[in-house]
Amino acid sequence: MLDVKLIRKDRQAVEDKLKTKDPSISLEKLISLDEELRALKTKAEALKASRNEQSQKIGALKRQGQDASGLMQEVAKINEEIHHLDPRILELENTFETELASLPNIPMDDVKVSQSPADNEVINTHGKKPEFSFPFKNHVELNESLHLFDFKRGAKISGSGWPVYRGLGARLEWALINFMLSRQIQNGFEMWMPPLLVRQEIVFGSGQLPKFEKQQFKIQDEDYHLYLIPTAEVPLNGLHYDEILEEEQLPLRYTAYSPCFRREAGAAGAQERGLIRMHQFNKIEMFCFTKPEESTDIFNQMVGFAEGILEALGLHYRSVLLVTGDMSFAAARTVDVEVWLPGQNRYYEVSSVSNCTDYQSRRSQIRFRGSDGKLEFVHTLNGSGLATSRLMVALLENNQNADGSVNVPEVLRPYLDGISILKPE
């Protein structure tokens, strides 16, 4: 959430920056609500001060045995006016908070202004696209003889977009998860195992609500009102909801494995069959709480950690600095790490690393106490380390052989009892 003081100080500058993310944004309604709300609060405070003053006079008159009925009538009128003002103030406060919460984070000054993803800047490239001396297959075609997934039975159980991993496919997925967790622990992250269902305020705190309400899976009955997490970023951010941390605790580096649940709005194209776009997928999350002056350095470290996993797996990738219009709602700066998928003939994101500055911490009321005793909002950063479904596609398509077999990267073999190749059945 944005600092309303910043908006009051320079509305036009803030609005101009927000429009680089979404040209339709206007602060006119928010400013109007803020002005009306502050005017009503000032009036209510004046009325309550007057009531207190009159009440003191009434008490003095009664102690002196004098008639206070006139003042009592005035107080009654004041009470009636306050009684009408308070609900209106509460209504305006709720409307104002909803309007403020609907605004995205402000992009950093050095982020390129554009609404087109085509303008994203490639800032790093590793390796080369593979060259095949045979007609290569996409992962769905490879699966016909490798039998790593069962898409038909997944659809039977839950509908389209819900994968079922089987045999060596399940083992390879688990090997990826274990390998990546081990790497993040080596990188200095503490491992957590958070719940997969979280409260509404925790989803709000991460910036997923109210903007993306329709993209969430949730359960709602007489006993529960909980959301399935779209990413472990949500519960990891929520770990310190409404807490005050000490400066010496920072930075905090957390990692977690979780399934992720997303509605994935929009129809997938013909090339996005199989594991490319799913309602449920697995992901290792990196999440950091930092002092503001440290967040840029830690952001760069996190990008490097994501890239390092792809390098260890021997995969060609590129890292892309996103333009303003392509960044996520809560991000002030984002780098996507994209792996090459031969079967799709394009790059696909397997990690998105974002510096959310104090946007999430304001929504979640996560602060730290500095050495001077002052309280300040922490900066939060998140990034995939990595998401496995597209990574699985990359491993299969980039490492395939002419006979339909697939070579297993050396770093994964210890997690597969030494298996070095997946052979067609």
Query: CA–CA separation, 290 vs 376, rounded Å?
Result: 11
Catalytic residue among 183, 262, 362, 367: 262
The HSE-up count of residue 397 (CA atoms within 13 Å, CB side) is 27
Helices (H), 102-165: 139-146, 151-158
Chain centre distance of CA 409 = 30
- The yes-or-no answer on residue 397 being catalytic is no
C-beta of residue 265 within 8 angstroms of C-beta of residue 214: yes
| 349 part of the active site | yes
Which amino acid, residue 330?
A: A
Active site residue 277: yes
Is 413 among the residues known to form the active site?
Answer: no
- Write down the catalytic residue from 351, 352, 384, 389: 352
Residue tagged active-site, from 199, 349, 369, 405: 349
- Residue corresponding to tokens 């003095």: 60
Phi, psi (degrees; rounded to nearest 5) at 357: 45, -130
CA–CA separation, 347 vs 385, rounded Å? 17
**Is 367 an active-site residue?**
no
The tally of CA atoms less than 13 A away on the side-chain side of residue 53 is 8
User: 270 burial class (0-12, 13-18, 19+ CB within 10 angstroms)?
Assistant: exposed
Q: Residues 37, 92: contact at Cβ < 8 Å? A: yes
Half-sphere exposure of 33 (CA within 13 A, CB side): 20
Q: Which of 402, 395, 420 is nearest to 410 (CA)?
A: 420
Which one from 318, 362, 363, 390 is the annotated catalytic residue?
390
CA dist 130 and 416 (Å) reads 25
Catalytic hit among 277, 318, 333, 362? 277
CA 9 to chain centroid, in Å, comes to 28
Active site residues: 262, 277, 349, 352, 390
